[in-house]
Structure 1
């Protein structure tokens, strides 16, 4: 065939498209197990970091809580992975770790599943609640660890899909997340309200008013964090009230 003909050019282009498509498809398929494992390890790392911090002591040596380290020690600290309904009752046959909150949020509340992780670290018990909501541009998510009283925050971790760098994206920084430590999620009336991110907050280090200072220039993202915490945490009140009555949760 004449290499200068239109037919040759057309056939060559089709052949290249097919080769590239097959190569990309094979590469994507080959990488899927590795990508899934990375997601699994990152999730374990996020859950553990809310009450362990960014490092952990293993066999007398302090190590960074990397993804690989998290996957090795996860079962040592997570006592239970629970799935709850909106009445605080356990749901059978569902894996808490596999619950997709993005899909759950599209369901009616009485049909949703609420995952909860019960952990123990250095002699203390923690309850880790997954969070998901909406920021300025796209989804935001995270985890909050509550101390034994199921009220006081031990730690949080937030992440996002598309918040503005230097503004809303600052929810991922340590200095912002540290503001939530020791904040209360119940208000004075005994309702779960989470923690409100307030622009121009003047409460100083008050840990009993359910408020923290906002990120300058990121009001909408901050509002998203506030709504995310309240909307997700309030569904766990029935469960927390039940375990308090059973004596499994320390009361203040």
Structure 2
């Protein structure tokens, strides 16, 4: 083969070799990324679980810097499940491992909400809901309820803690959302969260009265809206009212007060 023929053959082989090498490297990279994702998933799930437990301890007023979150949660918090249709405790699943968000996506474990009822814009609702009790012996000290609903840009997930009368707010805190920093994201501001304690959920007739209002809150049923974040404030108002209302924990809280 002449020098020209050899150069021509080498030249024609170069693109093929480049493609083969590129494909091989892509496959190796994909396998490595997939393997890393599988290996890291348990750690990521554990971190998510610990972050959620930390928020529950915080909203319950039981968190201290440096504590072992898992130990504190296990010793101070009693998870239970509530059947939202009956307003009674349920033993249909393990309250420690139950995933309410996952259940809400499963047609066998949830229901589609009618638009007229769905003021929180959650679309589907799990049949069972988690609650978290803080007790001293048999005496209930606080009840923590998970709440979620749509704001301006995202679904906000959080907890509201109630005092033993199950009508007075002890605290409110969100742990996940994608609202605008400096505006709707101010739901995380401790100053705004401090407006919630001692507000009342229901009036003397049992009607939901708690509300987030623009233009100056007054009285025991109102909380000031976030400045410059009307839609996020409306979302918080709607999700709180939903979860303490008839489609949420309302029937359960009434049963517990008897």
Q: Same fold (TM over 0.5)?
A: yes
Residue aligning to 1:47? 56
Report the Cα distance in structure 1 between the residues aligned to 2:95 and 2:192, rounded to whole angstroms: 28
Post-superposition offset of 1:51: 1.6
Residue aligning to 1:60? none
> What TM-score, normalized by structure 1, do the two folds share?
0.82
Residue aligning to 1:107? 111
Residue aligning to 1:239? 252
Post-superposition offset of 1:2: 4.7
Which residues in structure 2 correspond to 1:193-208 (within 5 Å)? 193=209, 195-203=210-218, 206=219, 208=220
Distance 1:244 1:124, change over 3 A: closer
Secondary structure, counterpart of 1:90 in structure 2: strand
Post-superposition offset of 1:83: 2.8
Cα pair 1:81 1:115 within 8 Å, conserved = yes
> What TM-score, normalized by structure 2, do the two folds share?
0.80
Structure 1 range deviating more: 81-90 or 5-14: 81-90
Structure 2, unmatched stretches of 5+, are 1-8, 114-124
Report the Cα distance in structure 2 between the residues aligned to 1:22 and 1:16, rounded to whole angstroms: 10
Secondary structure, counterpart of 1:107 in structure 2: strand
Post-superposition offset of 1:179: 0.7
Structure 1, unmatched stretches of 5+, are 56-62, 246-252
2:195 is aligned with 1:179: yes
Post-superposition offset of 1:54: 4.6
Post-superposition offset of 1:52: 1.7
Report the Cα distance in structure 1 between the residues aligned to 2:76 and 2:62, rounded to whole angstroms: 13
Residue aligning to 1:211? 222
Post-superposition offset of 1:241: 2.0
Report the Cα distance in structure 2 between the residues aligned to 1:121 and 1:214, rounded to whole angstroms: 35
Count of matched residue pairs? 230
Post-superposition offset of 1:53: 5.2
Cα pair 2:55 2:175 within 8 Å, conserved = no
Report the Cα distance in structure 2 between the residues aligned to 1:32 and 1:186, rounded to whole angstroms: 42
Post-superposition offset of 1:138: 1.2
